[in-house]
């Protein structure tokens, strides 16, 4: 991990943390204290622009100030990278986000309720989003464009093997981004990402539940050609 652009916030500002509660069925409830995350400014993106200009894929999410996310979209798009925006958490005001942010987004990753709160998939595509990637939990996901949609079924994980769903969405987004960077199409990348996410819910924790390359290959979750 290249940590050159990880900096310190001013004194008295804590690192962002999250308290996670998991029930007996593996479902979770998360309380986030953003801390230093919300102290980022667009200039932090500018400082890392040289690195972003060399990358194939840039992923944005909603745990930093919106102007920082917008600047990241602008820099990544100008560099020719595939821009993926995972709008999570999704506040009520997301439907009023600047339209140019959606126009800069190649792939928008949201769940069904988040998409609906922002005017529905058709509305998001009309704003200029290239692809809407709608996550459906255990039911997989949908890849939606102006030309139609494709449902990719989820991997069936027996209820007794679901240990902790925390981080499954992040694993899905990260795996999708990885496979896009390796040249896979949207549907192939999303299908593989569903398989990776299904592996994570069978272990405790977030990062600790993410499979290694060898584990993904052994489980048949690593796509051919990646």
Active site positions, annotated: 170
- E strands, 23-103, in order: 28-33, 57-61, 82-86
Token pair, residue 20, equals 């996670």
Three-state SS at 60: strand
Contacts of 106 (CB under 8 A, 6+ apart): 82, 83, 84, 130, 131
Q: What are phi and psi of 40, to 5 degrees?
A: -70, 150
C-alpha span between 36 and 33 (Å, rounded): 9
Burial 46-77 (b: 16+ CB within 10 A, else e): eeeeeebeeeebbbbebbbbeebbbbbbbbbb
63 near 40, Cβ under 8 Å? Answer: no
> What single-letter DSSP state applies at residue 222?
S
- CB atoms closer than 10 angstroms to residue 204: 11
């Amino acid at each position: 991990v290249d940590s050159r652009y990880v900096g310190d916030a001013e004194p008295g500002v804590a690192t962002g943390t999250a308290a996670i509660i998991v029930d007996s069925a593996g479902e979770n409830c998360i309380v986030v204290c953003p801390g230093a995350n919300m102290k980022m400014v667009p200039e932090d993106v500018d400082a890392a622009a040289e690195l972003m200009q060399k990358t194939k894929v840039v992923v944005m999410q909603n745990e930093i100030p919106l102007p920082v996310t917008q600047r990241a979209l602008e820099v990544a798009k100008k560099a020719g990278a595939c821009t993926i925006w995972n709008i999570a958490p999704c506040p009520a005001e997301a439907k009023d986000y600047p339209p140019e942010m959606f126009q800069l987004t190649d792939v928008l990753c949201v769940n069904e309720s988040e998409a609906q709160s922002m005017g529905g998939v058709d509305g998001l595509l009309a704003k200029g989003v290239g692809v809407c990637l709608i996550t459906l939990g255990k039911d997989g996901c949908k890849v939606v464009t102006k030309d139609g949609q494709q449902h990719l079924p989820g991997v069936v994980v027996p209820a007794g093997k679901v240990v902790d769903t925390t981080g499954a969405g992040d694993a899905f987004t990260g795996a999708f981004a990885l496979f896009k960077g390796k040249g896979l199409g949207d549907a192939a990348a999303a299908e593989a990402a569903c398989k990776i996410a299904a592996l994570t819910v069978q272990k405790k924790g977030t990062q600790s539940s993410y499979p290694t390359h060898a584990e993904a290959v052994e489980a048949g979750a690593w796509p051919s050609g990646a």
